[in-house]
Amino acid sequence: MVDVEGPSAGRSRSLWETLRLLPKIDLHRHLEGSLRLSTLAEVAQAHGVDLPSYNIEDLRPYVQVTDEEPNFHAFLEKFRFLRRFYSTREAIERVAYEAVADAAADNVRYLELRFSPATLAAHQGFDLEEVTDWVVWAVEQAGRDFGVTTGLIVTIKRELSAAEAERVAHVAFARAGRGIVGLDIAGDEVNFHLAPFRDILRQAHREGLGLTIHAGEATGAWSVREAVEEYGADRIGHGVRAVEDPKVVELLRRAGVTLEICPTSNIHTATVPHLARHPLRHFLAQDVRVTINTDDPSISNTTLTDEYLIAVREIGVSLPQLGVVVWNGIRAAFAGQEVKQPLWKAFKGEWEKILAISLPDALEAERLR
């Protein structure tokens, strides 16, 4: 480990420990990819979920990327196995609560947790409205218990029919400002197009929700351009393949659209061949707003501290650049000024104290939008 010395450190610390101490923001974390392995085993035993084994280590290859060849569709298959664990209201509330608790343990102060009501409801035929309210309640409770401000993003899977997607969207619209802060389009971007969701995406902004679209992960730079120009995305989930087209990179910079970068996940889905070739540094050099996130902490066996460490040690991001990344995250959050302004003031003070670096001053409210 690299040691960090300085007047703010007090003593020599490993780089990982220093990064763990920093307050963090995670804008791209899937609830369905955040289940603890211990919880899986306990839920399975308590509710009779049929599994090949109840031993955590035996379960690991089914729900976590281990030593298999990186592959986008193989990554998505992990979620199919996880669906059987949404067996009761108690199980869903527990998973949502623990997702926030685990973020808090990693010193994440602001979290946007996305989830698919259709996925949570499907296994047992739960009502979409009820299952959404269970998640909202659990996250609110965890936020009070652990001091994490959490906004929920409702995910619509591309694989849904137009009618199913509309039902999910209206669940989100009905709860705009009451726990739900954004709408997300995710899933198999290779085989399912955005066109069926055009009207839903237009309405999301009218309902006051932020809009993030998974693009430029399994498909090329064109999908990022499409998400921004045709569908009005405020943020792009992943978006790393935008680097393939300089005009798309310039579009992102000019439009101020934020990329939600998840380095470990990008390796596991074969979006990037290896970390030394990750375009994160290139985006920073081109003044594209990028953030660093976990995506699916359990599936990728990672934390946000781990992702920061990878960014610094493997990708070559400097500590001041890491400060810019967290600044981008606060600017791009689907939260109001009453959240963003005090959040940045607290982050700026702690980051400068721990790292002995200068970060941007808090700007006028309109500059934080």
In the chain, % helix, strand, coil (3-state, to 5) comes to 55, 15, 30
Dig out the tokens for 189 from the structure: 């971007």
Distance CA 168, CA 135 (A): 14
**Are 225 and 194 contacting, i.e. CB atoms less than 8 angstroms apart?**
no
Per the annotation, the verdict on 217 as an active-site residue is: yes
The string of DSSP codes covering 45-84 is HHHT---S-S-HHHHHHHHS--SSPP-HHHHHHHHHHHGG
Of residues 93, 98, 189, 217, which has the active-site annotation?
217
Dig out the tokens for 186 from the structure: 């995710």
Helix axes 319-332, 337-355, angle to 10 degrees: 170
Dig out the tokens for 92 from the structure: 């869903």
Distance CA 240, CA 262 (A): 9
Q: Are strands 3-4 and 13-14 parallel, antiparallel or unpaired?
A: antiparallel
Strand order in the sheet with 290-292: 24-30, 108-115, 149-157, 180-186, 210-215, 235-238, 258-261, 290-292
For residue 355, give every residue at least 6 positions away whose Cβ sits within 8 Å of its Cβ, in sequence order, or none: 4, 6, 8, 18, 22, 319, 323
**Are 172 and 202 contacting, i.e. CB atoms less than 8 angstroms apart?**
no
Distance CA 286, CA 155 (A): 30
Q: Which residues are catalytic?
A: 217
